[in-house]
């Protein structure tokens, strides 16, 4: 930390340069200080000529000349020239320390500073637009942001995404997506180095390839177990599709008599009345294009909650239309035939998971909201400060990551049954049915599926933990919103908020995001409207993403457990199958390595835990208090979940707040 002294001084100015690529500057910087009496200091140069100032990620301090009878500093004005080889400069914040009373004034900046442009920043620098003392600077910066943060649709019917990644959003994480390098490193240190081509001979051959740095995934021990297959619906990477079944589906060839042997002897009507029958239906997968026209099932499965509170599969039909070549498979079918039916079901589940649950809902949808937020809410807007930590990485991560995941000929084309074309179509289908007030609001989503009541489907670990986090986020959001919008008029008069909300709901053909279920169609009127939207966004970027993302290696890395791709054709009768048939259906060694590599990368956590922000956006006292309360509550939840996991089988660790990042990191 630099320390430049100009003689007798009552104030020290700390300048914190941002910790990002190219943030440091060689330019000359000057500042003016303003006090609460209206006094203004002379121009003060902030330079030490014997050292490098304003280096990336560094803090410089300057003891400014004493100013007679100067009061509390509540505002600064600063600027830079264009001198030096690298004049660009990203400032995190200024802090002014008053040695007379041991008090600090905070001036968050969080922006690139243009040459010869004067910036006026107030203490804490948080205001609604109607309260801003410097509306011209605010409008100018927003106009500039709207030119930078512009939309495009990368595929017909898809979500709105960034037209061009702004320089300000770029960071060097390309190495994470160098899949060729990743595979080479794995081959050099793992058991995989001698088994990179050809097909698997036995399941033991596959089991034996795991070891540091690719440990045995959880799925390796449970893939054939019906209890674990049921557990995947409530604690796997896709825990949002199971529904309460209130009647047998018309297009499934089952009857109460057929099912009774799997219901512990109970009549079906009593099981339905007791809310112990559940269903997963993948009708949405019908008629999807696939790689090389490979078969894809669109199955229906029934699950039964036993007297021991265990969820078990009792019937799987692999296609929607009943027919002689589309039997319903049951647990008493030949063991490997039943296992094959479960694998084809999970193959369908995996396509839904990657396209909708993961990429659609927690990657692409938040990206469009991030663009709207950055284009419509000023940096000093309290709602920008609330949402920014959770939207911070979406644009750079998706810009590079989506190319490596779903670019033509990339990972999805190589290892997923539906490939890129089918993936994009499925994302479109999923987003077209998404509503902020249903799928985007956890309690409503659970209620819509009939599983909100904790007495229904006990041991639904995702629901247990996610509801704790959702409640904590809701409480945090309410404290922030109630502080800044203490009367309804402030909501109505907030032009930035209203324009942002209108853009969320406006149809895509008219330049909006086309989101359904935005309260009051984006014309916000109440605190409840705002709580619904902000809670949805924070939850989606943190909790929902963690639930769908961090279990991927555990689920996908052992293909029999959760196959991204299956060779051959689905079974069309009950002919007994063998282990050889199971092995023949697996992806080859090269594709298995591709699956392991990418899911290992995706399952890594690269940013701070929820509530612990990399960048401090909020400085207002009430907002900081809400943040601290949020962190305290999350710590309690973490302890609760760890205690629960002592008696859970299997453990569900993915929503421990310490394991849930604020946002994506890759």
Cα dihedral 230, 236, 240, 241 sign: negative
pLDDT of residue 418: 99
Cis preceding linkage at 281, omega within 30? no
Average pLDDT, the chain: 94
- Quick check: 187 pLDDT over 70? no
Average pLDDT over residues 633-658: 97
Mean pLDDT, rounded, for 467-472: 99
Q: What is the distance between the alpha carbons of residues 203 and 83, in angstroms, rounded to a whole number?
A: 66
Alpha carbon distance 292, 418 (integer Å): 9
Structure confidence at residue 658 as a pLDDT band (50, 70, 90) = very high
- Lookup: tokens for 354: 């990657």
Look at residue 178 in the predicted model and tell me its pLDDT.
62
- What's the confidence (pLDDT) of residue 257? 97
- Token match 């457990």: residue? 561
Nearest residue to 309 (alpha-carbon basis) of 279, 280, 272, 276 = 276
Question: Residue 173 pLDDT > 60, yes or no?
Answer: no
Give the pLDDT mean for 59-77: 94
User: Closest by alpha carbon to 535, among 631, 463, 437?
Assistant: 437
Q: Cα–Cα–Cα angle for 159, 160, 166, nearest 5°?
A: 140
Torsion sign (Cα): 377, 382, 386, 389: positive
Q: What is the mean pLDDT of the segment spanning 495-504?
A: 99
Please answer whether residues 3 and 61 qualify as being in contact, where contact means their C-beta atoms are separated by less than 8 angstroms: yes
User: Mind listing the pLDDT tens digit for each residue in 521-556?
Assistant: 999 999 999 999 999 999 999 999 999 999 999 999
Number of Cβ within a 10 Å radius of residue 413: 18
Block residue for tokens 């993936």: 423
Could you check whether the bond before residue 650 is cis, i.e. omega within 30 degrees of 0? yes
The predicted structure's pLDDT at residue 402 = 82
Predicted confidence band at 403 (pLDDT cuts at 50, 70, 90)? confident
Rounded CA-CA distance 13/2 in Å is 11
- The span from the first CA to the last CA of the chain, in angstroms, equals 31
User: Mean pLDDT lowest for which of 57-71, 260-274, 380-394?
Assistant: 57-71
| Rounded-to-integer distance, Cα 340 and Cα 539, Å | 36
Domain 2-125 has CATH 1.10.3720.10: no
In the chain, what percentage of residues exceed pLDDT 70? 95
| Residue extents of the structural domains in the chain | 2-125
Question: 90 and 20 in contact (C-beta within 8 Å)?
Answer: yes
Cα–Cα distance for residue pair 465/278, rounded to 1 Å: 20
pLDDT of residue 1: 47
Residue 2: per-residue pLDDT: 47
Residue spans of alpha helices (H) in 123-170: 135-148
Output the pLDDT for position 381: 99
Sorting pLDDT into bands at 50, 70 and 90, what band is 179?
low
Left (φ > 0), alpha (ψ -120 to 50) or beta: where does 296 sit?
Answer: beta
Which pLDDT value is given to residue 175?
A: 53
Residue of higher predicted confidence among 372 and 182:
372
Residue 31 has pLDDT above 70, yes or no: yes
pLDDT of residue 6: 57
What's the pLDDT score for residue 195?
A: 64
Q: In the structure encoding, which two tokens stand for residue 529, read together?
A: 């409207």
Rounded distance, CA 235 to CA 416, Å?
22
For the record, the structure tokens of 551 come out as 């279990």
* Model confidence pLDDT, tens digit, residues 573-622: 999 999 999 999 999 999 998 899 889 988 988 889 999 999 999 999 99
Q: CB within 8 A of 238, min separation 6: which ones?
A: 232, 349, 350, 352, 353, 357, 548
- How much is the pLDDT for 243? 99
**C-alpha dihedral over 470, 474, 476, 481, to 10 degrees?**
150
pLDDT (0 to 100) of residue 190 = 64
Segment 485-497 mean pLDDT? 98
HEC letters along 47-98: CCCCCCCCCCCCEEEEEECCCCCCCCEEEEEEEECCCCCCCCCEEEEEEEEE
Q: How confident is the model at residue 404 (pLDDT cuts 50, 70, 90)?
A: confident
pLDDT in tens, 317-367: 999 999 999 999 999 999 999 999 999 999 999 999 999 999 999 999 999
* pLDDT tens-digit map of 295-308: 999 999 999 999 99
- By percentage, how much of the chain surpasses pLDDT 90? 85
User: Residue 61 — very low, low, confident or very high, per pLDDT cuts 50/70/90?
Assistant: very high
- Indicate the pLDDT class of residue 200, thresholds 50, 70 and 90: very high
Q: How far apart are CA 432 and CA 578, in angstroms?
A: 41
403-to-178, 384, 428, 430 alpha-carbon distances in Å: 11, 28, 17, 20
CB atoms within 10 A of CB 276: 22
């Amino acid at each position: 930390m630099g320390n430049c002294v100009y003689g007798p001084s009552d104030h020290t100015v700390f300048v914190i340069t941002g910790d990002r690529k190219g943030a440091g500057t060689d330019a000359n910087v000057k500042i003016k200080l303003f006090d609460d009496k209206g006094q203004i200091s002379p121009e003060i140069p902030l330079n030490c000529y014997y050292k490098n100032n304003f280096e990336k990620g560094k803090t410089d301090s300057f003891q400014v000349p004493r100013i007679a009878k100067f009061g509390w500093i509540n505002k600064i004005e600063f600027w830079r020239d264009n001198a030096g080889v690298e004049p660009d400069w990203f400032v995190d914040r200024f802090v002014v320390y008053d040695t007379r009373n041991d008090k600090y004034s905070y001036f968050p900046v969080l922006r690139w500073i243009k040459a010869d442009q004067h910036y006026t920043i107030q203490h804490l620098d948080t205001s609604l637009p109607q309260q801003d003392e410097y509306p011209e600077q605010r409008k100018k910066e927003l106009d500039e942001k709207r030119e930078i943060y512009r939309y495009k649709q990368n595929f017909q019917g898809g979500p709105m995404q960034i037209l061009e990644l702004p320089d300000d959003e770029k960071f060097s994480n390309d190495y994470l997506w160098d899949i060729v390098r990743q595979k080479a490193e794995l081959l050099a240190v793992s058991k995989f180095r001698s088994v990179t081509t050809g097909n698997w001979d036995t399941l033991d051959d596959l089991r034996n390839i795991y070891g540091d740095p690719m440990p045995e995934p959880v799925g390796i021990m449970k893939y054939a177990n019906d209890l674990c297959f049921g557990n995947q619906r409530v604690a796997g990477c896709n825990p949002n599709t199971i529904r309460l079944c209130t009647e047998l589906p018309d297009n499934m060839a089952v009857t109460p008599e057929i099912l009774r042997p799997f219901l512990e002897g109970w009549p079906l009507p009593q099981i339905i009345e007791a809310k112990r029958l559940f269903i997963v239906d993948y009708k949405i997968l019908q008629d999807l294009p696939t790689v090389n026209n490979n078969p894809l099932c669109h199955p229906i499965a029934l699950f039964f909650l036993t007297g021991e509170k265990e969820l078990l599969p009792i019937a799987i039909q692999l296609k929607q239309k009943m027919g002689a070549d589309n039997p319903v498979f049951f647990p008493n079918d030949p063991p490997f035939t039943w296992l094959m039916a479960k694998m084809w079901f999970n193959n369908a589940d995996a396509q839904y998971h990657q396209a909708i649950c993961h990429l659609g809902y927690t990657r692409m949808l938040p990206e469009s909201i991030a663009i709207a937020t950055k284009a419509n809410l000023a940096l000093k807007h309290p709602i920008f400060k609330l949402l920014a930590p959770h939207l911070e990485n979406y644009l750079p991560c998706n810009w590079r990551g989506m190319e490596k995941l779903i670019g033509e000929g990339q990972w999805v084309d190589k290892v997923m049954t539906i490939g890129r074309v089918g993936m994009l179509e499925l994302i479109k289908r999923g987003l077209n049915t998404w509503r902020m007030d249903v799928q985007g609001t956890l309690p409503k989503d659970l209620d819509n599926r009939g599983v909100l009541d904790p007495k229904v489907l006990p041991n639904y670990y995702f629901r247990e933990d996610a509801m704790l986090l959702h409640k904590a986020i809701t409480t945090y959001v309410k404290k922030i919103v109630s502080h800044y919008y203490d009367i309804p008029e402030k909501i109505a008069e907030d032009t930035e908020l209203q324009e942002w909300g209108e853009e969320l709901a406006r149809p895509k053909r008219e330049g909006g995001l086309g989101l359904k279920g935005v309260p009051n169609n984006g014309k916000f009127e109440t605190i409840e409207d705002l709580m619904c939207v902000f809670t949805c966004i924070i939850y989606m970027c943190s909790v929902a993403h963690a639930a769908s993302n961090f279990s991927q290696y555990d689920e996908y890395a052992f293909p029999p457990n959760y196959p991204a791709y299956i060779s051959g054709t689905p079974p069309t009768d009950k002919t007994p199958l063998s282990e050889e048939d199971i092995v023949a259906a697996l992806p080859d060694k090269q594709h298995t390595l591709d699956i392991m590599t990418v899911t290992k990368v995706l399952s890594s956590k690269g940013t701070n835990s929820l509530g612990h922000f990399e960048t401090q956006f909020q400085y207002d006292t009430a907002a900081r208090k809400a943040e601290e309360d949020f962190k305290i509550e999350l710590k309690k939840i973490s302890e609760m979940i760890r205690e629960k996991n002592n008696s859970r089988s299997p453990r569900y660790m993915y929503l421990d707040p310490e394991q849930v990042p604020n946002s994506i990191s890759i």
